[in-house]
Chain A
Amino acid sequence: MRLQTYYCALLSVLLLFSSAQGRADSAEQLFARFEPALLQVRVLEQASGAKAAIGTGFVLEEPALVVTNYHVVSEAVLSPEKYQLEYLNASQQKGALQVLAVDVINDLALVSTDYRAPQPFKIQTTKPVQGATIYSLGNPHDLGMILVPGTYNGLQKYSYYPRIHFTGAVNSGMSGGPAVDVNGQVVGVNVASAGNQLGFLVPADALQQLLARYQREGQSKDLKADIERQLLSSQQAMFSQILNADWKLKDFGTGKVPDEVVPFVRCWGESNVEKDQETLKKVTAFCSQSEEIFLSQHFTSGRVEMQFEWLEAKDLHPLQFFSLYEKNISRASADNQALKEDVTAFECQHRVVRQTGGHHAKMIYCVRAYRDYAGLYDVLYLSASLDQQQQGLVSHYTLSGVSQDTARAFSQKFNGAVSWQ
């Protein structure tokens, strides 16, 4: 018995060794072949000449351009008077880069360069199979170019913005680097990490689309105007999916609230019901999106978030109940990040509203506008039912980066879905 275990262990060690050996060979060849086509992309602050951010880029075969993430070069796009771009190649040569076109929704940027790599990258036109080995290339933390083997796990299921789920470490600095299959063809672009061995890649399709647009329209004349257009059309597409979906409702207290209305909005819940001694029973459900659109280091957008709270008291006087109820809606803030350079202050209205069904609610509606992107707003809504003396339903949502029409349509759909007795 013991001998058998020993042989088993020996066999598996040998197997592991040989497979590691085999993979290392091809990975080594891949890395040697493509290293000259990998660039470190540096954002330099003009005044100090120091690096403000770093990322990775890779040279394409046709057209001869460099691909990287929008979030790597965002500072140079938004403040060209303050930042400039530079590359550093494997032979330590430096040169200038210029942004030609961006896709903020998929976090991609096309950059022109005078550098010509001997063996540039090609884009893979077919998707890898689930479980296929792919390699992510990049320069993590400015430590030098490396190759990370991992597994292709298809598109992330619950994301509106398409992302490949890559089981392998993608670290900061590798952003914008390519992920290639065993033949060295690009299947995705490194974009984010969600912790240990969980990486995300922008699929090659998105890159193909950006290239097609670039070939059709040429160099962008106004990148900010492009971003504005992309945000407007992306929110329209995403919300038409949300608004056209048949919203599943769930029982919540004595009312009904929407559940996971579309696959990319995920819901969770919690309550204090098990603690019997609480004077106020409280059930919470919240739904949100895991991804957002990166606009700058301190400005994100493109998310929907909803939250519901059911409050129920047994032996409280209505005045007591409402005094506690009031505290539950005292604070609300935007779901996305922004600075005052990015957005205006919130303008709010707060009213007691009699709904068509005859129910009453205190409704709070706040709006702020994006300073650089006309026609886009962040919206915050909060309402508290007023018809019962010891029970209350708080419903809340925030939308970031939506048009006024989208906000209105969402508000109508949301108010139609939330109800209470």
Chain B
Amino acid sequence: MAIIIEVLNKQHKVTERHRFSQPRVALGRAYNNDLILYDKHVSPHHAELVLAEDGRWQLVDLASLNGSFVEPSVAVTQSTELQSGQLCWLGEQAIRVYDEHHPVPPALPFNNIEQRLRRFGHPALIVLLALFLIAEELFGLWLTAPEPGQGRWSRNLLNLPLLMLGLALWPALLALWAKINQHEARFLPQLGITFSIVVLMECWQALMTVLNFSLDGAAAVVWLADIGQTALVILLLSANFYLALQLSAVKKVALATGLGLLVSLQGVAVSVLFEEQGQLTPKFDNSLMPLTFYLNKPMNSAEFEKESAELFRLTEEARLEPAE
């Protein structure tokens, strides 16, 4: 009966896979072994796998310097019978042995979501998104009406490549992480996804700015803006993790949601911490846009006065509560 040997790295990832049909397989660092290992703690003639008469495989240690062990770290004194799928160590080198009838999991169908996410790696899409982001950045700069002579244009233009590089850093980290874990790096899809979501965030921001002015800085708009941003962060992380991590889909989304909420909660925590100091300065919405952007019906002066009277009542209530 043939035997399959998987050579594993320190993270127990398979680096090599061999199939032997002979009844005796020699393992060690010497070149006359059947399976030649590299680990420096492995003896030249370290161990042998021997097919016993009952059809089971045994690990025989050949008086090696650092010894052999089987799962769960039992030292092999002379020879030990192995189960299919059992983990063994020759010194520090981990291997796993299977008999040829060991069951394998059924084939996975192509992952629909993954396939779609990978389409974000299309170079044309990435270029288009990058151009949009650059245009958006230039629009923001133009809005502040920089003086032509002051060099603010050129300074900010020089910063643009840096900005793009900064945005590419996150997908690069994800690709690196995947690579370390011996998965496909998928840098371009990650880059495409990141750019797409950043574009969505910018659009959401712009929409909320107009809505905020139109609804006179209503608290609901502030909430909506924050919730939208958090949702987009969670979406970004979910998509990133979907491609980069080898976890179950539920775990990936849970991790992304957790991280996304943490990021937005951090913002809330900062505002709560600094609220104490800012208590004496009035907080109001100062957003100003041309009147055409005002989608609401303006108040009249009498209504404004009536609402002002309400403020006196509110502060009168606050007055009767003790100061912290």
Contact = CB atoms under 8 A, between A and B. Distances in A.
B142 interface: yes
Given A320-B143, A369-B316, A411 B308 contact: yes
A255 to B, nearest CB: 17
A326 B288 contact: yes
Nearest to B292: A318
Interface in B136-177: 142-145, 147, 149
A301 B276 CA distance: 23
Interface residues of A, number: 64
A368 B296 CA distance: 28
B293 to A, nearest CB: 9
Interface in A330-361: 330-334, 338-341, 343-356, 360
Contacts of A147: none
Given A279-B147, A350-B216, A352-B299, A386 B288 contact: yes
A356 B301 contact: yes
B285 interface: yes
B107 interface: no
Contacts of B298: 351-354, 360
Nearest to A387: B291
B274 to A, nearest CB: 14
A356 to B, nearest CB: 6
A321 to B, nearest CB: 8
A362 B304 contact: no
Given A349-B307, A351-B216, A367-B312, A338 B280 contact: yes
A338 to B, nearest CB: 7
B301 A355 contact: yes
Interface residues of B, number: 43
Contacts of B315: 344, 347, 367-369, 377
A20 to B, nearest CB: 51
Interface in A235-249: none
A341 B324 CA distance: 8
A234 to B, nearest CB: 19
A363 B308 CA distance: 11
Interface string A358-395: 00101111111111001001001010101101001000
Nearest to B300: A354
Given A365-B308, A384-B288, A346 B283 contact: yes
Interface string B279-298: 11111111111110010101
Contacts of B270: none
B180 interface: no
Interface in B202-239: 216-217
A326 B315 CA distance: 27
A344 B291 contact: no
B314 interface: yes
Interface string A389-421: 100100000000000100110011001000000
A323 B312 contact: no
A294 to B, nearest CB: 19
B289 A322 contact: yes
Given A323-B143, A349-B307, A352-B216, A344 B318 contact: yes
A215 interface: no
B102 interface: no
B280 A334 contact: yes
Nearest to A278: B147
B309 interface: yes
A257 to B, nearest CB: 18
B282 A369 contact: no
A345 B301 contact: no
Given A356-B301, A365-B304, A326 B286 contact: yes
B305 A332 contact: no
Nearest to B290: A318
B311 A325 contact: no
B323 interface: yes
B116 interface: no
Interface in A192-235: none
Given A333-B282, A334-B280, A353-B299, A347 B145 contact: no
A369 B304 contact: no
Closest 5 A-B residue pairs measured CB to CB?
A346-B282, A369-B315, A354-B298, A366-B282, A344-B318
9 contacts: A326-B287, A326-B288, A329-B288, A344-B319, A345-B279, A346-B282, A347-B318, A350-B286, A377-B315
Given A351-B307, A377-B315, 9 more contacts: A277-B149, A320-B142, A333-B282, A344-B315, A347-B311, A352-B298, A356-B301, A367-B308, A371-B323
